[in-house]
Amino acid sequence: MTTHWIAVVGNSPGVGKSTLCVALASWLRDAGAVVDHFEEEHILTRAQFRDVAEEFAGDGVVHPRTLVAATRSYVEHARGSGVDVLVTDALIPFVPSLVAWGQDEPAIAEIIRDLERAVEPTRVTLVYLRDDPGVALQRAVDREGPAWAEWYVGKLGAAPGTRSVVDLASAAEHLRREADLTLRLLAASRWDVVIADAGVADAGQIARYVRERLRGRLQDVVPSGR
């Protein structure tokens, strides 16, 4: 039975979510746990998210009930497959997507409550990576190239809830507001939250910091000292 879900999210592209997920999944497998590492780019290709992909392919917007149903299906499938720990990259609680699709704060808070019920009794820990969005965005541009920056700004600018984004500077400002919203929502949720400041540590330091804060939550799957 799947007993834990480590959901890594961040306040900006380029903040190190994917790198941390790889490190956590490797650590857990080395400790003997059966791990499902759900990479960010696979949300539209996983079988349990087929309905999400179909709706998104329509008009680029997904109904919250579809997200909740897909999340429930994903957890149930993992339980049936004998997975101990889910490690997901930029999946729940879907705040950036919900904001882009025009959902306001009360609506997103209700969706998170629906997600909490959908994944029970799996214990969820949200690992929130944060950095200055301007710095993190530039890191992403340096890694992916100018075409990625044009795509990212265009994607936000075309969505109903983020049409104020016209360049990287306005994208960074949007991400700062979204970070404040996310932290308010997580503080009101029933999920455990671990916050790591990516701007003051390298990837190895962040991974060690997060592992130490996860050990007490994962005692049934990570032996002492691992």
Domains for the chain: give ranges and CATH numbers.
Answer: 4-215 (3.40.50.300)
**pLDDT at residue 225, rounded to an integer:** 57
Look-up: residue for tokens 């691992």?
A: 226
The stretch 22-41 carries a mean pLDDT of 96
Residue 224: band (very low, low, confident or very high) from pLDDT cuts 50, 70, 90:
low
Q: Nearest-5° angle of CA 106, CA 111, CA 99? A: 65
**pLDDT at residue 1, rounded to an integer:** 61
Question: Taking the CB of residue 191, how many other CB atoms lie within 10 A of it?
Answer: 17
- Decide if 101 contacts 91 (C-beta within 8 A): no
Does this model's pTM top 0.85? My answer is yes
- Decide if 75 contacts 118 (C-beta within 8 A): yes
Question: Taking the CB of residue 220, how many other CB atoms lie within 10 A of it?
Answer: 11
Question: Taking the CB of residue 204, how many other CB atoms lie within 10 A of it?
Answer: 10
pLDDT digits (tens, 9 = 90+) for 181-221: 999 999 999 999 999 999 889 999 999 999 999 998 998 88
The stretch 152-165 carries a mean pLDDT of 96
The stretch 21-28 carries a mean pLDDT of 98
pLDDT digits (tens, 9 = 90+) for 59-112: 999 999 999 999 999 999 999 999 999 999 999 999 999 999 999 999 999 999
